[in-house]
Structure formats: structure tokens, C-alpha cells
Structure 1
Amino acid sequence: MTNLNRKFRTATNIAGAWLSIGHPTVAEVTATHDFDFVLIDTEHTPLSLETVQEMSRGVDAADGETETIVRVPSDDPVRIKRVLDIGVAGIMVPMIETAAEARDVVRAVSYPPDGIRGVASGRASAYGDDFQQYVETANGSIVTVVQIETQTGLDNAREIASVDGIDAVFVGPADLSANLGIFGDWENDRFAAAIERVVDAGDAAGIPVGTLVVDPTDIETRVEQDFDFLIVGKDTSHLSSANERIRQRYEETVSQQTATSISED
């Protein structure tokens, strides 16, 4: 069992960081800030497996215990297999709508006889040096997170969360609100009810439920909604907001200096 897997089973207030910029420096810098994990997104980015591997190395190079989860584009077992061979701590799979789909994810993550993951040496097994030990211990150690992002997923939330081998459920706020016809309306009662439904499903199954927070002012709301873990912020959003703040401060300072100079003339 990985440290991250243990945290998902026993800890509270787990914090992650969202990465979509495909550079190991971004991953390494982020991992120096004591996040429990980083989430590398390959669903909505052009990141290649080679890039994901280098980003994972960046995380591992940082001091601390931050580990890597990769969001794959779908429940394709070939893609899942190749990501896991990189040696990451876990995966997140989007758009899961039924317990059968959740079971397929667990089978894709697991080696035979429990699953269908192909056996091969790679970075995960120290390029073969720990081959047999890794294969014998991998099942049950990979953090397996599924996303509920549709009305059908909501309808089946309890069944999805109760699938053996699913370690956590994640609410995709943008896709879920869009699917409900209330995109971006975070204050809508229907959105709040949907969140409550997923959180209740996780509680009933005894597994944590998380979501993404991009705006820091939303953290208190999500904590009050009883999410067990949050991914707090995205690298692109941090970069954009920091650039905007520093540019505005410069312009305001120059404007104040100009006004002072005029008043003194």
C-alpha cells in the first residue's frame, strides 16, 4: 500500500494540486509545498506519456511526501496500463456513470487474476529490479479515483462508491453543472443537492469524496459541504492570477507616482 493510499483510507483534509502545464519544473515546484498529491491532467491537455513521466520524476525529486495521481482521458485499460507503468501512485477516471464501469476501472488497475492489467517491467518496478515484488503487491495499492459528472452518475452514485477497489469519488464541478443544465451556477440549489448526494454516497461506502476548487473563496463552502479532500487551485489559474495582480500593482504604483509628481509641480 502506498502512503497516499493509506492517507485516503485513514486521513482527513487531504490536499491536492492540479497540474496541466507539461513541465517537470512546475511539478517539482508544486510538490515542494507539502501537498499530499498532485493531479496531472491528461484528459483536457495535450500531455504525452513521456511528459507525464518527467513530471512524475519532478514530483519525486522534491523534498516531502507528495505523490502523483494522473487523470486519464477515459476508462481505456490500455491507457490506464501505460500510465501505471510510469510508477505513479494512482489514477483518476472521468465520466463514470455506473457500477459496472467502476468495476471495469478496478479490473484495468489490477493484475490477474483480479484484473486485466498487462504485466511488464518499467519505471513502476524499478525497470525490472523490483519486478516480482511490484507485481505481487500492486493490486490494492494503486489509488483509484472515479469522477461523477453526469445525472446518470448521480443516479448511481451509491452503487459506484460501493464498488470494491474504488478508493475515492471526485465531483467534477464544471462537467456536472453543465450536465445538469446549470453550468457554472455554483449557488444553484440543484448543484448543492447533487454535491450532497455524492458526499452521502461516499459516506455510506466509507470512502472519501473530493472536488476541485479554483477560486480560493470557495474553499470554505466546499469544506462546509463535507468534502473529505480538495484539489486547491490549478497551475494555470495561479499563473494567470499572479500575473494579473503584479501587473495591476505596477500600474497602480506608476499612476500614484504620476499623480504625486503632478500635484507637486
Structure 2
Amino acid sequence: MTFSIKELRLSIKDNQPSVGTWMQIPSPEVAEILSSTNYYDWIVIDLEHGSFSRNELPSIIRAVELNKVLPFVRLQSSNYTSLKEIVDCGFSGYIVPMIESPSQLETIYDQITYPPKGKRGVGFSRSNQYGLNFKEKVENQIQPFLVAMIETQNGLENIEKILDFKNLDAVIIGPYDLSASLNICGQFDNEIFIKAFDYIIDACKRKGIPFGTHLIEPCNKKLKEIIKKGSRFIPFSIDTVMLYQNKPLF
């Protein structure tokens, strides 16, 4: 388990797989339980499909950090407006859905990074403990972890250009949206999907960008399989799925 962004980057660079999980239930208790397991480097608060309100986020982030796990967020969209109300909450990493061009990543990067590297507004906030850690968090320019989700045919076609964005840390392949974009929704055994999936992975390997796919089913066997195939940044299941996957044996 890692705690700092620097440690996470060094671990992945050392070819160690980093595994996190996804939250859709707006509960600090769920965040505390997941982060206390010692299974995950990071926990993603899903603002795209979850049901979180702005005032719940600080408490959930604190519950994640309590156990020295990194709080990440999946944004509502690739538009910078989805950052306005949450950028000062204290997230360590940003996962951006539906990336189709490097210009989208540039816009997001500007909004999550302080000048002179970016255009983020400077001020006391929860992200710097309301000024108590201003020097550490702002002046030292801790660069948030930036992840692109490749989920569309346009993203597939532009993958080489996307991977050339210099501040990109990792890629996640969104299997459901990608298959839907290819008109074969959920058909992961379809040759068209397999070809597209392998094309993205091959491009990531050539460019040296860590990659993974959202493994929805909490299956350790499948996790080992994708790690064996080279995945190094892996979202493992979702809190909601973990609840209903525990089936009675009768």
C-alpha cells in the first residue's frame, strides 16, 4: 500500500501493479471500511454514476485518508466545469471519463494544477487544511495523478495522440462504454472488441504508459490474469457490486 502520489508513481514505474477500488455509495463508513482493508492504494469516488453531493465529499475523503489511502475522483465529464465545485476538496488523483483528445486532458490539467504550471485558483481550502499546509500543498506544487479513461471509438482512434500528453499518469479502458461505442455493448468476446482492447494496450506498452481496465466483478482470478498481461493501474470492482456478489450458498 502507498500513501503519497510520489510513492505511487515510483511503485508503478518499478513495474508493481497498483490496485484501487470504486465507490458509488455516499458513505464515510463505506470509505473507512474499504480503506482499512490494506488491499487498495487508492479509492475512487465516482461522481459520474454515483450519488454524491458536494457537502459529503470532505468527510468521505477524510475517511479514506485516515487509513493512508489516496482519495481519487472520477469526474462527471471531461469538461472542466465538472471540477469547479470539487477541486478544493482534497483529491489526490483525477480520473477523466470519455477522453477523445489530448486537448481535453490539457484543460483538466490546467484546472487541477497551480500556477505557473496550470491555472488553478489559489486560496485557503480543505485541500490545504484551510491554510495550515499551504506551503506543502501549494508552494511545493504537488502534481495530482491524472488518468484518462478510453471509452469511445474516437478515443480508440486518437489513442496515440492522447498517450503523448506529457502529464498523463495512466489509462483505464472502460469496457462497457467502449463496447457500446462500437455497437457491441457488453460483448467482450466479440472480435471487434478484442481487437480494439488489444490495440489500446499495445499503444500503452509502446508509449510506456501504465494501463488497466475496470474489473467490475470482484474476482481475484481475473485480477491475476490482467496483471499477468501487463496491467499496472487497476480499479477492482465497486462497493455496490461487492454487496450483491455475496450470494447465499443455498
The alignment's TM-score, normalised by the length of structure 2, stands at 0.89
The alignment's TM-score, normalised by the length of structure 1, stands at 0.84
Identity, in percent, stands at 31
SS across alignment from 1:25 = helix
| CA drift at 1:61 | 1.9
The equivalent residue for 1:184 is 186
Name structure 2 gaps, 5 residues minimum. none
AA at the equivalent of 1:53:
P
How many residues are matched? 243
2:128 maps to 1:125: yes
The equivalent residue for 2:17 is 13
Q: 1:81 to 1:133 in 2, by over 3 A?
A: farther
Q: 1:224 to 1:6 in 2, by over 3 A?
A: closer
Q: 1:109 to 1:7 in 2, by over 3 A?
A: farther
The match for 2:144 among 129, 142, 162 is 142
Indicate conservation of the 8 Å contact 2:213/2:234, yes or no: yes
1:235 and 1:21 map into 2 onto residues whose CA distance is 7
| CA drift at 1:75 | 2.8
2:58 maps to 1:53: yes
1:223 and 1:188 map into 2 onto residues whose CA distance is 22
Q: Counterparts of 1:26-175 in structure 2 under 5 Å?
A: 26-34=30-38, 35-62=40-67, 65-139=68-142, 141-175=143-177
Indicate conservation of the 8 Å contact 2:23/2:50, yes or no: no
The equivalent residue for 1:4 is 8
AA at the equivalent of 1:161:
L
> Would you tell me which structure has more helix in proportion to its own residues?
1
Deviations 1:34-93 (A, max 9, x none): 21111110011221122222111111223xx32111001123334325433111210101
| CA drift at 1:221 | 4.6
Rg: which structure is higher? 1
1:194 and 1:78 map into 2 onto residues whose CA distance is 30
| CA drift at 1:241 | 1.6
Give me the CA root mean square deviation. Answer: 1.9
Name structure 1 gaps, 5 residues minimum. 253-265
SS across alignment from 1:175 = helix
The match for 2:203 among 201, 204, 221 is 201
AA at the equivalent of 1:77:
Y
The equivalent residue for 2:226 is 222
